[in-house]
Amino acid sequence: MFVEFLQVYLPIIINILLVVFLIIAIIIGLKLSDLIDKVNHVADSVNEKLDSLNGVFKAIDFASDKINNITNKVVDTIVSGISKLFGRKTKKISLDEEDEDLWKRRV
Protein backbone atom coordinates (compact mmCIF):
# COMPACT_ATOMS: atom_id res chain seq x y z
CA MET A 1 0.00 0.00 0.00
CA PHE A 2 2.74 2.45 0.93
CA VAL A 3 4.70 1.46 -2.16
CA GLU A 4 1.69 2.14 -4.39
CA PHE A 5 1.30 5.56 -2.75
CA LEU A 6 4.95 6.40 -3.48
CA GLN A 7 4.68 5.20 -7.06
CA VAL A 8 1.59 7.30 -7.79
CA TYR A 9 1.90 10.46 -5.72
CA LEU A 10 5.65 10.91 -5.28
CA PRO A 11 6.29 11.94 -8.92
CA ILE A 12 3.40 14.42 -8.68
CA ILE A 13 4.79 15.93 -5.46
CA ILE A 14 8.29 16.15 -6.96
CA ASN A 15 6.94 17.84 -10.12
CA ILE A 16 5.00 20.37 -8.05
CA LEU A 17 8.08 21.14 -5.95
CA LEU A 18 10.18 21.56 -9.11
CA VAL A 19 7.64 24.00 -10.58
CA VAL A 20 7.62 26.00 -7.33
CA PHE A 21 11.45 26.03 -7.33
CA LEU A 22 11.49 27.19 -10.96
CA ILE A 23 9.04 30.03 -10.20
CA ILE A 24 11.13 31.13 -7.20
CA ALA A 25 14.31 31.05 -9.32
CA ILE A 26 12.66 33.21 -12.01
CA ILE A 27 11.52 35.76 -9.40
CA ILE A 28 14.99 35.91 -7.84
CA GLY A 29 16.54 36.33 -11.30
CA LEU A 30 14.23 39.27 -12.09
CA LYS A 31 15.02 40.91 -8.73
CA LEU A 32 18.74 40.46 -9.35
CA SER A 33 18.38 41.99 -12.80
CA ASP A 34 16.71 45.08 -11.29
CA LEU A 35 19.40 45.26 -8.62
CA ILE A 36 22.18 45.11 -11.23
CA ASP A 37 20.51 47.92 -13.21
CA LYS A 38 20.38 50.08 -10.06
CA VAL A 39 24.02 49.36 -9.24
CA ASN A 40 25.05 50.28 -12.80
CA HIS A 41 23.11 53.54 -12.52
CA VAL A 42 24.86 54.40 -9.24
CA ALA A 43 28.27 53.51 -10.70
CA ASP A 44 27.64 55.73 -13.74
CA SER A 45 26.60 58.58 -11.47
CA VAL A 46 29.75 58.22 -9.38
CA ASN A 47 31.90 58.16 -12.53
CA GLU A 48 30.28 61.36 -13.79
CA LYS A 49 30.93 63.11 -10.48
CA LEU A 50 34.54 61.93 -10.39
CA ASP A 51 35.08 63.10 -13.95
CA SER A 52 33.82 66.55 -12.98
CA LEU A 53 36.42 66.66 -10.17
CA ASN A 54 39.36 65.58 -12.37
CA GLY A 55 40.12 69.21 -13.26
CA VAL A 56 40.37 70.15 -9.61
CA PHE A 57 42.67 67.20 -8.90
CA LYS A 58 44.89 68.11 -11.86
CA ALA A 59 45.15 71.72 -10.66
CA ILE A 60 46.07 70.60 -7.14
CA ASP A 61 48.65 68.18 -8.54
CA PHE A 62 50.17 70.89 -10.74
CA ALA A 63 50.34 73.36 -7.84
CA SER A 64 51.90 70.82 -5.48
CA ASP A 65 54.53 69.90 -8.09
CA LYS A 66 55.46 73.57 -8.57
CA ILE A 67 55.65 74.19 -4.81
CA ASN A 68 57.79 71.07 -4.43
CA ASN A 69 60.18 72.23 -7.16
CA ILE A 70 60.50 75.71 -5.63
CA THR A 71 61.07 74.25 -2.17
CA ASN A 72 63.76 71.90 -3.51
CA LYS A 73 65.57 74.80 -5.21
CA VAL A 74 65.46 76.92 -2.03
CA VAL A 75 66.74 74.06 0.11
CA ASP A 76 69.50 73.24 -2.38
CA THR A 77 70.59 76.89 -2.42
CA ILE A 78 70.66 77.07 1.37
CA VAL A 79 72.56 73.79 1.69
CA SER A 80 75.12 74.79 -0.94
CA GLY A 81 75.61 78.17 0.78
CA ILE A 82 76.15 76.54 4.16
CA SER A 83 78.49 73.94 2.70
CA LYS A 84 80.52 76.72 1.05
CA LEU A 85 80.82 78.54 4.38
CA PHE A 86 81.85 75.53 6.43
CA GLY A 87 83.38 73.29 3.78
CA ARG A 88 87.08 72.47 3.63
CA LYS A 89 89.10 73.76 0.80
CA THR A 90 90.71 70.82 -0.91
CA LYS A 91 93.73 70.90 -3.15
CA LYS A 92 93.06 69.63 -6.60
CA ILE A 93 95.54 66.98 -7.64
CA SER A 94 96.13 66.09 -11.24
CA LEU A 95 95.83 62.49 -12.36
CA ASP A 96 99.58 62.17 -12.92
CA GLU A 97 100.37 63.31 -9.37
CA GLU A 98 97.75 60.95 -7.99
CA ASP A 99 99.26 58.01 -9.91
CA GLU A 100 102.74 58.87 -8.63
CA ASP A 101 101.40 59.10 -5.08
CA LEU A 102 99.82 55.66 -5.38
CA TRP A 103 103.07 54.14 -6.70
CA LYS A 104 105.03 55.69 -3.83
CA ARG A 105 102.65 54.16 -1.26
CA ARG A 106 102.94 50.71 -2.79
CA VAL A 107 106.71 50.63 -2.90
Residue 21 lies in a domain: yes
What is the pLDDT, as a whole number, of residue 8?
Answer: 86
Q: How many structural domains are present in the chain? A: 1
Q: Is the pTM of this model over 0.85?
A: no
DSSP string, 48-101: HHHHHHHHHHHHHHHHHHHHHHHHHHHHHHHHHHHHHHHPPP-----HHHHHHH
Identify whether 107 is part of a domain: no
Domain that holds residue 16: 8-84
Question: pLDDT: is 18 or 101 the higher one?
Answer: 18
At a CB cut-off of 8 Å and minimum separation 6, what does 93 contact?
A: 101
Model pLDDT, residue 55: 87
Would you say residue 97 lies in a domain? no
Please report whether residue 92 resides in a domain.
Answer: no
Q: What is the pLDDT of residue 6?
A: 82
The Cα–Cα gap between 85 and 80 comes to 9
pLDDT > 90 in the chain, percent: 54
Q: What pLDDT does residue 96 have?
A: 60
What was the pLDDT predicted at 85?
83
What percent of the chain is modeled with pLDDT above 70?
81
Domain annotation covers residue 22: yes
Res. 45 pLDDT band, cuts 50 70 90: very high
Residue 2 lies inside a defined structural domain of this protein: no
CA dist 107 and 96 (Å) reads 17
Long-range contacts of 20-29 (CB under 8 A, 24+ apart): none
Does residue 77 form part of some domain? yes
Give a yes or no: residue 52 inside a domain.
yes
